[in-house]
Amino acid sequence: MSKTYRISTGTRLVNRAFQAMTQLGVGKQYRHILTVPGRKTGRLYSTPVDVMRRGDQRWLVAAYGVTNWVHNARAAGQVTLSRGRRSETLRVVELSPQDSVPVLRQYLQEVPVTRPYFDVTHESSDAEFAAEAPRHPVFGLIPMS
């Protein structure tokens, strides 16, 4: 059984620390700040996220499950990613469970801290990863221009 993501005081402190580091451009290269308007209020919300990359393709993985940023990104259809002084607005397209499998595998390999939130391991079959995909949506990132 996978761990459930809970927003606690400790989680908020860690997110703020990662956000500050990412805004300075330090830390893991895959870490970015995602900013997306709230689906109800339109207010901008920001949170640290990890962007997977293979060649020119990039993806967002909802490692902690279907959280608010996932709902907001689905509603908005686009997000802004920032790291250091760079910022980019991108369209988001949710991948099918089958198309999510290689990205989820890469994510588990590259971001070990989130493994407890998944019910799959490196040894799991593609079918098991595809079954896990609805709990951890993957979004393709497409440049706006």
Domains and CATH numbers, the chain: 27-143 (2.30.110.10)
Q: Residue 28: its pLDDT value, please? A: 74
Q: Residue 128: its pLDDT value, please? A: 96
Helix, strand, or coil here: 53? strand
What predicted TM-score, i.e. pTM, was given to this entire model?
A: 0.84
Q: Residue 114: its pLDDT value, please? A: 85
Q: What are the residue ranges in the chain where pLDDT is below 70?
A: 1-8, 10-15, 17-26
Q: Residue 35: its pLDDT value, please? A: 96
Helix, strand, or coil here: 143? strand
Q: Residue 120: its pLDDT value, please? A: 95
Per-residue tokens: 37: 């308007």
What beta strand segments (E) does the chain contain? 31-37, 44-54, 57-61, 78-83, 86-94, 138-143
